[in-house]
Structure 1
Amino acid sequence: MRYSRAWKSAWPFEIIISSMDFHKSASYLVTASDDESIRLYDVQNALCLKTINSKKYGVDLVYFTDHPSTVIYSSKNGWDESLRLLSLNDNKYLRYFKGHHDRVVSLSLCPRKECFISGSLDWTCLLWDQRAEKAQGLLRVQGRPAVSYDDQGMVFAIAFGGFIRMFDARKYEKGPFDIFPVGAFESDAHVVKFSNDGRLMLLTSKDGHVHVLDSFRGTVISTYNVKPVVSNGTLEASFSPDGMYVISGSGDGSVYAWNIRSGKVACWASTDSEPPLIKWAPGMLMFTTASSELSFWVPDLSKLGSFGALK
């Protein structure tokens, strides 16, 4: 495993990246930082193209829409919890999405339609259409929710309270069609994700558990343990493109990798105290980690014992 490129803050104080997202087809990466800024990167040419400040509202989570020039992001100011559709071309707000009354902690965009779902500390999940300011649906939860659409946009998952609830996106108002118990953890759910082929799911929690589940049966295939998160950070993990590996952050800033079949592959220590964010680049054999530093990792295909099997 090696670095291909790393960007580090040039400011006199340390900037922590709170969110990042790759565009699914263009070679762009967008990040949100605790200096209340959004940065757009050209991944192919290793360039920071633009920095947009959001001093009034703050910025926490940021995700690309289908268009590489627009993003949806959540606020981080404590007084306005609206989501915003922002044009990166001219730094203009195209739409506000108002409905939450506390911090939005999870956001997932439907890959097939102009829809998205948001989960908040107000114990609600709201379903949205990007073309309308008002929420199209509301689901109440009992705890901090983690939300995710599958790759087909037909199903979405909401995790909280030790369970993952599965919903049909076309008739979510009828309630979950299945509920999966996930061990006996009582900690907050942080991230829930589907593998690219939809067969597996990931769930991370504040207490340092990374669960891999069969997304059809709900059975727990494996559970990995890392350091718990003691800050307000998020424990994030991600499947490799072929679904055979899991890359995860840790509460002590380390990065872990596991082969789902055989167990731990590697661990890389860090001087960061925040759990790093983890994202795989679509269509590329590369993943990115982010905390105070934005780093790009490329598996070494010559070492078949580690990441040589990735596709």
Structure 2
Amino acid sequence: MKINSANIGGMQCAKEFSEHKSRVNSLNYSTDGMHMISSSDDESIVLYNCDSGIKTRTLNSKKYGVDLIHFSHNVTDAIHCSTKVDDTIRYLSLHDNKYIRYFSGHSKKVITLAMSPIDDTFISSSLDRSIRLWDLRSPNCQGLMQLQHKAIAAFDPEGLIFAAGVNSEHIKLYDLRSYDKGPFATFQLEQEARCEWTSMKFSPNGKQILMCTNGEHMKLVDSFSGNITYELKGHQNNKRFALEATFSPDSNFVFCGSSDNKIYSWSTDTGNVAATLPTKHNSTCFQQVAFNPRYYVLASACSNVFFWVPSEDE
């Protein structure tokens, strides 16, 4: 089914899961869209089958905590950040709930964690003002960039470029094969006093970069020119959460939660709100939305996780 403004507005909640008892801090899909994983402040990890719409397993990480969980390219494994003990990134076997490898190096909270779309490389950034490149096959850091300011990071859809959002004012693009030579492009955006960039992601077609903030707007940036295409506004964020937004697989829409308990969607062609979906979310912890990369399924989460699908009338 083609995603458009009409059927987005008619999406319905098909499933609700209440396994987590605290705020869900991350959602992530497998590359094939068949599986999803969520992690929570209650230190639990839940696996879902997106085809059947069921929960398949619950795991716990009570010793280290869990945040920013991501599937590796094998859906039986995942990487995640720690919330206790130290700031090590951990590589977990979901099959037997045992750690395969540890990635030590960051000295403060990790705020970015992302897998390469093409291989075993992944990237992390931290409040220690560094960006690190890793390979799942080795515990040793494969590349280190020490910066003057806090940064967030993201891979492009082809896995050849990564972007760094530095000090909420510069977007720097690096060739993964020669990142040590510095960025091949730097875009400067006006720094805002009342909000910070909290995450960034490329659109699936690679043409735009979405800068998520802890304010009441987000920025769509042309990934070739660095120009701001649109500021996405209309949602509320009075608690200044780090709201996690998502692109639709066709890159035509952006979805984000709001403290008025609605999911907002914007057209990337016009920058206008295309639809809003009322939800049963708890506004005190509603921060996560994620669109399935292969199927017409949207997930949203506070402490409960919801799956949204098109109306049967569409």
TM-score, with length taken from structure 2? 0.89
Superposed counterparts of 1:214-253, under 5 Å? 214-225=222-233, 226-228=235-237, 230=239, 233-253=241-261
Question: Residue 117 and residue 52 in structure 1: after superposition, are their counterparts in 2 closer, same or farther (change >3 A)?
Answer: same
The answer on 1:198 being equivalent to 2:209 is: no
Superposed counterparts of 1:137-286, under 5 Å? 137-161=143-167, 162-186=169-193, 187-225=195-233, 226-228=235-237, 230=239, 233-262=241-270, 263-270=272-279, 271-286=282-297
Counterpart AA for 1:69: T
- Pairwise CA distance, 1:4: 4.3
CA deviation map 1:222-251 (0-9, x unaligned): 0023334636x4211111111111111235
2:140 match: secondary structure: coil
1:134 match: secondary structure: strand
The farther-off stretch of 66-75 and 103-112 is 103-112
- Pairwise CA distance, 1:282: 1.8
How far apart are the structure 2 equivalents of 1:243 and 1:269? Answer: 23
Counterpart AA for 1:37: S
How far apart are the structure 1 equivalents of 2:118 and 2:238? Answer: 33
Corresponding residue number in structure 1 for 2:5: none
Corresponding residue number in structure 1 for 2:22: 15
How far apart are the structure 2 equivalents of 1:125 and 1:208? Answer: 27
Corresponding residue number in structure 2 for 1:63: 70
How many residues are paired up? 299
How far apart are the structure 1 equivalents of 2:19 and 2:88? Answer: 30
Higher relative contact order (CA 8 A, sep 6+): 2
Contact 2:255 2:289 in 1 (8 A): yes
Corresponding residue number in structure 1 for 2:304: 293
- Pairwise CA distance, 1:269: 4.4
How far apart are the structure 2 equivalents of 1:10 and 1:82? Answer: 26
Q: Percent identity?
A: 33
The equivalent position to 2:121 in structure 1, one of 106, 115, 120, is: 115
The equivalent position to 1:88 in structure 2, one of 87, 94, 102, is: 94
How far apart are the structure 2 equivalents of 1:2 and 1:235? Answer: 21
Superposed counterparts of 1:120-131, under 5 Å? 120-131=126-137
Contact 1:254 1:267 in 2 (8 A): yes
Question: Residue 107 and residue 219 in structure 1: after superposition, are their counterparts in 2 closer, same or farther (change >3 A)?
Answer: same
| Structure 1 residue ranges without an equivalent (≥5) | 304-311
Counterpart AA for 2:180: E
How far apart are the structure 2 equivalents of 1:33 and 1:149? Answer: 24
Corresponding residue number in structure 2 for 1:309: none
2:138 match: secondary structure: coil
Contact 1:206 1:229 in 2 (8 A): no
Question: Residue 26 and residue 227 in structure 1: after superposition, are their counterparts in 2 closer, same or farther (change >3 A)?
Answer: closer
CA deviation map 1:173-201 (0-9, x unaligned): 11111111233324321111111111111
- Pairwise CA distance, 1:126: 0.7
- Pairwise CA distance, 1:141: 2.9
- Pairwise CA distance, 1:266: 2.1
- Pairwise CA distance, 1:26: 5.4
Corresponding residue number in structure 2 for 1:104: 110
Counterpart AA for 1:297: W
Counterpart AA for 2:191: A
